[in-house]
Structure formats: structure tokens, C-alpha cells
Amino acid sequence: MLQNKIFSINRLIEIISSLKKRRKRIVFTNGCFDILHLGHISYLKKAKTLGDLLVIGVNSDASVRSIKGSKRPINPLRDRMKILANLECVDYICSFSQKTPLNLIKKICPNVLVKGADWKNKEIVGADFVKSRGGKVTTIRFKKGYSTTNIIRKMSPYEK
């Protein structure tokens, strides 16, 4: 039976607080995770190795639309979170409705903030906050050739 990994922000804050008291190292990343692919899996498995627990902030459907356009997400938030919850490397999941996860990061106060290597450290939302609290910000290289955008392009009827 799948352990429940999906929580409201308030419940997640309680859980994280308890874990920090036990000196658990919290790793946080975020994203749309619209069509889960091998690149995501590789990235999340590497992120998990940076601490004891991996927490994922998932963009709400409205947030994805504001970032990616009106045709996204392909999969609704509930489905995206349930799929992520089935990954062994993922410990906790919470959604956020803003365009960026800054508020969520400030509430969770992770020890490690992780993003894909396509982000420069100075562009990573929450990096200054995490560093100011003694945390670490790091990037992970993507698995070449894997992206949701590429998958959608391949599925396009206009693709020859």
C-alpha cells in the first residue's frame, strides 16, 4: 500500500518541523512535472541523494498555465501528484498556486534547494533565502534529450 505523501502546506510544515528536530536533512525541488519521463526520474533520484528526505512543490494547474500557456498542463494536478507519490525517491509532495515556489520555500526552510542545471544559481527562486539560513543551493544536469516539451512536440499532428 502506498504511503500517503501528499499533504497540505500546513500539515507539511508540521511534519518537516518534527523531522528537523530529528536532524533530518530536507531537500526541496519544484516543478510542473506534467508528463513524467526518464529525465524527471533521473533528476529526482539524484536530488534525493543530497539529503534524507525529498520534498517536491508541484505547480497548480493555474500556475502551470501562467508559465507554459493555455494548453498546459496535459495532466491535472491531482494526477501529477499521485504519479510522483509512487516514486520511491519522493518523500513528500505539496502543491502551490503562485507562479514561483518562494512562499513554500520560506515555510519549509529546506537544507538543500535543488533545480535543473538550466537554471543559474542567481536565477533560482528562493536561493538567497536558503543560503541566508545556512542552506545549500545546487543544480543537477538534466538527462540529455528528455523534456516534456519535446514529448509534446513529438505527439503534435504537425510533426513530420
Beta strands in the chain (DSSP E): 26-31, 53-59, 92-96, 112-116, 136-140
pLDDT for the residue numbered 118: 74
Residue 160 lies in a domain: no
- Decide if 122 contacts 104 (C-beta within 8 A): no
Q: What's the pLDDT band for 149 if we cut at 50, 70, 90?
A: low
Q: Would you say residue 1 lies in a domain?
A: no
Residue 4 lies in a domain: no
φ and ψ at 74, to 5 degrees?
A: -75, -45
C-alpha torsion angle, residues 112, 113, 118, 124 (rounded to 10): -140
Give 117's pLDDT tier (boundaries 50, 70, 90): confident
pLDDT band, residue 160 (cuts 50/70/90): very low
**C-alpha to C-alpha distance for 102 and 141, rounded to whole angstroms:** 22
CATH number, domain of 33, equals 3.40.50.620
Do the domain assignments include residue 36? yes
pTM: 0.89
- Residue 152's DSSP bridge partners are none
2: in domain: no
pLDDT by residue (tens digit) across 136-147? 999 998 766 666
Confidence of residue 124 (pLDDT cuts 50, 70, 90): very high
pLDDT in tens, 83-92: 999 999 999 9
For cell 503534435, the residue is: 156
Q: What is the pLDDT of residue 141?
A: 84
Does position 1 have pLDDT exceeding 70, yes or no?
A: no
Percentage of residues in the chain with pLDDT exceeding 90?
A: 75
- The C-alpha angle 154, 115, 126, rounded to 5 degrees, equals 130
Asked if residue 3 is part of any domain, the answer here is no
Closest Cα partner for 48 from 87, 18, 12, 75?
Answer: 87
Print the domain residue range for 14. Answer: 9-155
Domain count along the chain: 1
The whole-number average pLDDT for the span 10-38 is 95
